[in-house]
Structure 1
């Protein structure tokens, strides 16, 4: 990674869904690695945890960066790369004129992305991609700590 890009892998989930949840992120810049995680003991959803992970990772960056962001959530990737501009034009309403679900997190992710040049990638979950597997483990740890296990 000598090109100066930050590489991020994120994951999130709940057990059950909805239920308590956790999120995890692996942030790499050159030889530096930062592992982030957290969770919610109250009822949340997989989608909220999947959104929280890239938000928290991007918000840790203290200057504008080129970012390669990997997620196993098509919801997050499609939302931020395809749907968000339409939602903003429609006053945060869907094409069916319904309020966007998780609007608070979409707005926060949109703002976090605006500070950086982010290229989004989808990665198949649980397919042996080392940093995706680590992000999953961090999300599990975040949920476990949130519920006191």
Structure 2
């Protein structure tokens, strides 16, 4: 995508497949992309309009300038999560080729469950995460780690990574987390980052790229159900992970890894 001009209310750009250039006008006030050309490629881009808008908005965060070229990756049939989806069970099925992302009001049965949380303590400049695995047969497993430095988002990601590593042989998994950052990353953004050489739309390395690169293959061949749990909402198992992660971040004893 080539950025042609940037005005107060609109951005003019051009999207090319190497053979044809499609002019696009992004209207900031309405958060809408206008594609006036009529062609086969234009129709494809029109159907991917939400993804086009997401790319432009992401690029704006990177101090967009006229003349800039943005590397774009679009996935046909891909739908981004809506706010209401976080009240449901979000499923991504990667057992077959392609991406199948759906939501449901009801959870899957007989499934391995991961509860995960992460924390950072300003007073100690330490971070930590904790996880809780509940298997269909009733057996349970608790895991946790402490780190020097780090931050809450990274700990949330590492907690889920650790849980998935422990369930590598399992096909159906439910991930419970209070982190929309992790859910959005694994359900939405990781697929675009992977095809864009782990760079954002404006050419910067994805934050925590090496950990996203570790966790993404763990989702291949699996049906993973994500459940967002609001923090401090009374979910006993999630609250347990929250408390344990906080203790890992505040504790001055034990083994610490520098991150």
Higher RCO, 1 vs 2 (CA within 8 Å, ≥6 residues apart): 1
Cα RMSD after superposing both structures: 2.2
TM-score where L is the length of structure 1: 0.89
Any conservation in 1 of the 2:130–2:242 contact (CA below 8 Å)? Answer: yes
What is the number of residues matched between the two proteins? 147
In terms of fraction of residues, the more helix-rich structure is 1
Any conservation in 2 of the 1:23–1:37 contact (CA below 8 Å)? Answer: yes
Is 1:107 aligned to residue 242 of structure 2?
no
- Could you say which residue in structure 2 is the equivalent of 1:38? 145
Q: Following superposition of structure 1 onto structure 2, how do residues 44-55 of structure 1 map, counting pairs within 5 Å?
A: 44-55=150-161
Any conservation in 2 of the 1:25–1:135 contact (CA below 8 Å)? Answer: yes
Provide structure 2 residue ranges, at least 5 long, that are not aligned to the other structure: 1-106, 255-259
- The counterpart of 1:64, out of the listed 165, 170, 189, is 170
Any conservation in 1 of the 2:131–2:144 contact (CA below 8 Å)? Answer: yes
Any conservation in 2 of the 1:25–1:53 contact (CA below 8 Å)? Answer: yes
- Could you say which residue in structure 1 is the equivalent of 2:222? 116
Superimposed CA distance per residue, residues 26-60 of structure 1 (whole angstroms, 9 cap, x where no aligned partner)? 110121111111110x2111111011101111111
Superimposed CA distance per residue, residues 57-91 of structure 1 (whole angstroms, 9 cap, x where no aligned partner)? 11112512300101101111101101011101111
Provide structure 1 residue ranges, at least 5 long, that are not aligned to the other structure: none
- Could you say which residue in structure 2 is the equivalent of 1:10? 116
Deviation at residue 115 of structure 1 after TM alignment: 5.2
The alignment partner of 2:199 has SS state of coil
Deviation at residue 138 of structure 1 after TM alignment: 2.0
Structure having the higher Rg? 2
Any conservation in 1 of the 2:178–2:231 contact (CA below 8 Å)? Answer: yes
Structure-1 separation of matches of 2:200 and 2:123: 23
The alignment partner of 1:126 has SS state of coil
- The counterpart of 1:83, out of the listed 169, 189, 208, is 189
